[in-house]
């Protein structure tokens, strides 16, 4: 947690110091108030006091209160400033870090977890700083200061206050011990309830088709009842808290008064009024002490949560970037070539290779396709080109230069990558197609429309309400899967890349669109090289070169016809999808 504090700039540290000074001032004034209170009490109590004295002391007290209010406002301003700046900077740091994380690490963290780490976890710490900074400084200062003020005013009172604090802490600690582990279970049950409801909702057709409504409801009710019972247990335990606090506070006041009565009774006449004054003062200081301990207890409840968040944030920040950009950004002799030289790849901790000794070369304008069963490594293979992963052994060359030597931007400018799951950004269709930077300046509207036409997207875009200005919702929830995929392809086309990378990008399209699209694409990008990963034979059978992968090894390379003849794996795949005569006719 403390590690994260490095995110505070000098200005914020200065503000923190201001804040602490203001808080000390605030505490000082706050603790002066009971002095005036007692002064006023004595004055009111003593016969023959002058009204002016009371007003004077009252005035001082209000001044103190006003002063402490002003200090508190100041401290609050600085605390809000520090907390907001801190969360801003931390979020920024995480965001930048995540943007540069390697694909492997992102997979390990999981995207959803990274999102919560950037948002909720930061907010959690921000809250601790906003409230905690003030309380954490204020509570101990108040407690200690108040204790020193009252310590010599009567040992009997001190003891009783001590006991009250001990009971208070005892109750809180016991409650924590009982309830906190159960809170964690509650969270799990809530997740589970959510899971069951989600399951019912996502499978609503299946549930109904199986007439399984009652079954689902029963399942839901079981967890629902469990959750309710646990919540009841927790909350009923917690219900003790308030009355106990109340009893401790009032009980303490009462005890102080009762003990005070005895002390006054037994003292000499001359001391009686002083003791009475002390009694009033003591009871108000004792309240301050109790309140401080309460505040401290509250902070200690907040700290573990923030600690967990801090740990999660640090995990991200401490991750080392393994894929380092090179420096090359000049012109290359070759254009549009991709070459794998004895490339092998395995995950750092794994024993087995995902890819083993792969070599091939494609030239400008050619299409190379990769096919194989799930887990054969075909996606991993093309992921080596945009450096989502780096080859463990061997070299991946683009235009004759190792991908590791390129600057990221320079490498990316050559590539048009289309993932299996199309990514949409909140914004217009135009924005989504022209997304990113290809080092060739802004994309014109004609270019965008052209790209959309090639990607078979123009037709449906024109049917949309605002055509190219139609707003695409976050995650593309307002367009269908096939439409998303076509927009994603249009986006790649608009980049004018030397090399296209289709990572199973056609599977969401129906056969017809798939075929038309590829034909148009071929026409439009005569000089571009294409790398295609696909499941459908139909998608790839016209490729210049097909690489057949099985368990990370290349088991065949050649054209469709060649492979049908000499590659058993390819034949199997082909036969499972098309009938014999179809294959022969093709």
Partner 1 sequence: MPRPHSNQSYEKARDFKGAIKRLFHELNIYKTLIVIAFTLAILGSILSILAPNRLSNLTDEISAGLVINQEHMEILTKKATENLSEDKLKEILPELLSPNLSEENIMNIMRDNDISQEDKNKFQNILNKLTDGNSEESFKDLSNLPNNILEKIFTETKYEGKTITTKDKINLINLSEDTKDINLSKNLQEVLFTEVTIDGIKVSSQDQYKYVKTLSSIDKNADETELYKKLDTMPKSIRQVIEPVMNMDKIKSITLLLVCMYLVSAIFTYIQSICMTDVANKFANNLRSRISVKINKLPLKYFDKHQVGDILSRITNDVDMIAQSMNQSLASLVSSITLFLGSIIMMFVTNWILAITAIVSSLIGFVGMAAILKKSQKYFIQRQTELGNLNGHIEEIYSGLNVVKTYNGKEEASQKFDEFNNKVCQSNKKSQFLSGLMQPIMAFIGNFGYVAVCIVGAMLTMNGQISFGVIVAFITYVRLFTNPLSQIAQATTSLQSTAAASERVFDFIDEAEMSNQESLTKHLDKKDVKGYIDFEDVVFKYDGNDHPTIKDFTAHAKPGQKVAIVGPTGAGKTTMVNLLMKFYDINSGDIKIDGVSTKELTRENIHELFTMVLQDTWLFEGTIKENIVYNRTHVSDERVREVCKEVGLDHFIRTLSKGYDTVLSDNESVSAGQRQLLTIARGMIDESPFLILDEATSNVDTRTEELVQTAMDKLTEGKTSFIIAHRLSTIKNADLILVMKEGNIVEQGNHEQLMKQNGFYANLYNSQFEQ
Residues 189-228 touching partner 1, rule: CB under 8 A, are 190, 193-217, 220-221, 224-225, 227-228
Among 10, 184, 236, 333, binds partner 1 (CB under 8 A): 236
Question: Which residue of 185, 240, 301, 308 would you call a contact of partner 1, by CB under 8 A?
Answer: 240
Q: Which of 570, 504, 561 is nearest to 535 (CA)?
A: 504
Q: Nearest distance from residue 575's CB to partner 1, in Å?
A: 9
Backbone φ, ψ for residue 453 (5° rounding): -65, -45
Q: In angstroms, how far is the first alpha carbon of the chain from the final one?
A: 65
Which is nearer to partner 1, 333 or 581 (by Cβ)? 581
Place of tokens 């887990």: 375
Residue 464 sits at φ, ψ, to 5 deg, of -75, 160
The C-alpha atoms of residue 372 and residue 239 are separated, in whole angstroms, by 62
Binding of residue 246 to partner 1 (CB under 8 A): yes
Q: Which of residues 26-65 bind partner 1 (CB under 8 A)?
A: 30, 33, 37, 40-41, 43-49, 51, 54-55, 58-59, 61-62, 64-65
Q: How far is the CB of 513 from partner 1 (least distance, A)?
A: 6
Q: How many residues does the chain have?
A: 586
Interface size with partner 1, residues (CB under 8 A): 173
Any contact of residue 183 with partner 1 (CB under 8 A)? no
Q: Rg of the chain's alpha carbons, rounded to an integer?
A: 36
Smallest gap, in angstroms, from Cβ of residue 45 to partner 1?
6
Cα dist from 96 to 99, 101, 110, 114, whole Å: 5, 9, 17, 12
Q: Which helix (H) or strand (E) holds 401?
A: strand 401-402
Residue from 235, 359, 444, 566 in contact with partner 1 (CB under 8 A)? 235
Q: Which is nearer to partner 1, 363 or 507 (CB)?
A: 507
- Answer yes or no whether residue 144 interacts with partner 1 by CB under 8 A: no
Per the DSSP assignment, residues forming a β-bridge with 345 are 355
Are the CB atoms for 175 and 238 separated by under 8 Å? yes
Beta carbon of residue 6, minimum distance to partner 1 (angstroms, whole number):
18
- The contact mask relative to partner 1 for 360-399 (x = CB under 8 A, - = no) is -------------xxxx---------x-x-----------
CB of 389 to partner 1, least distance (A): 11
Give the footprint of partner 1 on residues 538-577 (CB under 8 A).
538, 542, 569, 572-573, 576-577
**Which of 3, 92, 361, 471 is the binder for partner 1 (CB under 8 A)?**
92
Residue found under tokens 């750092």:
348
The secondary structure of the chain in percent helix, strand, coil, rounded to multiples of 5, reads 65, 10, 25
Q: Which of helix, strand or coil describes residue 359?
A: strand
Complex with partner 1: residue 333 or 463, whichever CB lies closer: 463
Q: At what angle do helices 511-524 and 481-494 cross, to 10 degrees?
A: 10
- Taking the complex as a whole, how short is the minimal distance between the CB of residue 522 and partner 1, in angstroms? 11
For residues 454-513, which are near partner 1 according to CB under 8 A? Answer: 474-475, 477, 480-483, 488, 491, 495, 504, 507-513
Report the residue number, 197 or 302, with the smaller CB distance to partner 1.
197
Residue from 247, 298, 303, 317 binding partner 1 (CB under 8 A): 247
Q: Kindly state whether residue 295 participates in binding partner 1, applying the rule CB under 8 A.
A: no
| Residue of the chain from 1, 24, 163, 244 that contacts partner 1 (CB under 8 A) | 244
CB of 82 closer than 8 Å to CB of 129: yes
Q: Which of residues 298-357 bind partner 1 (CB under 8 A)?
A: none
The candidate with the shortest Cα–Cα distance to 394, out of 422, 361, 431, 424, is: 361
CA 37 vs CA 63, 145, 387: distances in Å = 13, 17, 72
Does residue 152 interact with partner 1 by CB under 8 A?
no
Minimal CA–CA distance to 434: which of 412, 456, 413, 451?
A: 451
Task: Report the C-alpha gap between 586 and 542 in whole angstroms.
Answer: 10
269 is an interface residue for partner 1 by CB under 8 A: yes
Does position 261 interact with partner 1 (CB under 8 A)? The reply is yes
**x-or-dash string of contact with partner 1, 425-464, rule CB under 8 A:** xx--------xxxxx-------------------------
Distance CA 142, CA 135 (A): 10
């Amino acid at each position: 947690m403390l590690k994260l504090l490095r995110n505070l700039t000098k200005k914020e540290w200065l503000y923190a110091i201001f804040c602490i000074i203001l808080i000390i001032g605030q505490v000082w004034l706050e603790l002066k108030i009971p002095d005036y209170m007692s002064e006023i009490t004595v004055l009111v109590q003593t016969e023959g006091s002058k009204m002016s004295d009371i007003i004077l002391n009252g005035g001082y007290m209000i001044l103190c209160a006003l002063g402490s209010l002003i200090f508190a406002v100041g401290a609050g301003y600085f605390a809000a400033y520090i907390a907001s700046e801190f969360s801003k900077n931390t979020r920024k740091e995480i965001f930048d870090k995540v943007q540069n994380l390697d694909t492997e690490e992102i997979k390990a963290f999981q995207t959803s977890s990274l999102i919560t780490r950037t948002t909720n976890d930061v907010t959690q710490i921000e809250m601790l700083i906003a409230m905690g900074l003030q309380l954490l400084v204020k509570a101990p200062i108040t407690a200690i200061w108040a204790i020193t003020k009252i310590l010599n005013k009567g040992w009997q009172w001190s003891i009783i206050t001590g006991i009250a604090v001990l009971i208070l802490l005892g109750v809180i600690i016991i409650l924590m011990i009982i309830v906190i582990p159960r809170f964690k279970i509650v969270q799990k049950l809530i997740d589970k309830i959510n899971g069951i409801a989600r399951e019912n909702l996502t499978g609503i057709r299946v549930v109904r088709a199986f007439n399984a409504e009652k079954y689902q409801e029963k399942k839901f009710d079981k967890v629902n009842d469990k959750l309710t019972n646990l919540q009841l247990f927790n909350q009923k335990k917690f219900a003790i808290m308030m009355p106990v606090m109340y009893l401790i506070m009032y009980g303490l006041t009462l005890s102080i008064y009762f003990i005070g009565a005895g002390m006054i009774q037994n003292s000499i006449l001359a001391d009686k009024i002083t003791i009475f004054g002390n009694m009033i003062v003591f009871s108000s200081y004792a309240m301050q002490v109790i309140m401080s301990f309460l505040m401290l207890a509250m902070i200690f409840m907040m700290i573990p949560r923030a600690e967990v968040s801090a740990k999660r944030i640090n995990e991200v920040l401490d991750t080392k970037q393994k894929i380092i950009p090179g420096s090359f950004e000049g012109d290359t002799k070759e254009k549009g070539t991709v070459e794998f030289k004895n490339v092998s790849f395995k995950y750092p901790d794994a024993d087995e290779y995902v890819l083993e000794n792969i070599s091939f070369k494609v030239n400008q304008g050619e299409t190379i396709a990769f096919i194989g069963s799930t887990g054969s490594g075909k996606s991993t293979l093309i992921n080596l080109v945009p450096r989502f992963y780096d080859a463990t052994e061997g070299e991946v060359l683009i235009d004759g230069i190792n991908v590791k030597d390129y600057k990221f931007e320079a490498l990316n400018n050559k590539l048009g990558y289309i993932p299996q799951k199309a990514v949409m950004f909140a914004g217009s269709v135009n924005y989504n197609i022209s997304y990113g930077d290809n080092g060739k300046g802004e994309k014109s509207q004609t270019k965008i429309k052209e790209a959309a036409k090639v990607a078979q997207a123009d037709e449906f875009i024109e049917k949309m309400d605002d055509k190219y200005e139609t707003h695409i919702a976050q995650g593309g929830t307002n367009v269908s899967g096939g439409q998303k995929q076509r927009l994603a392809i249009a986006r790649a086309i608009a980049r004018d890349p030397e090399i296209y990378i289709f990572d199973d990008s056609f599977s969401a399209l129906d056969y017809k669109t798939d075929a038309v699209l590829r034909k148009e694409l071929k026409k439009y990008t005569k000089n571009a090289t294409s790398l295609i990963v696909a499941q459908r034979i139909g998608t790839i059978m016209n490729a210049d070169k097909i690489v057949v992968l099985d368990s990370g090894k290349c088991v065949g390379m050649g054209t469709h016809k060649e492979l049908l003849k000499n590659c058993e794996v390819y034949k199997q795949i082909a036969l499972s999808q098309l009938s014999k005569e179809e294959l022969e006719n093709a």
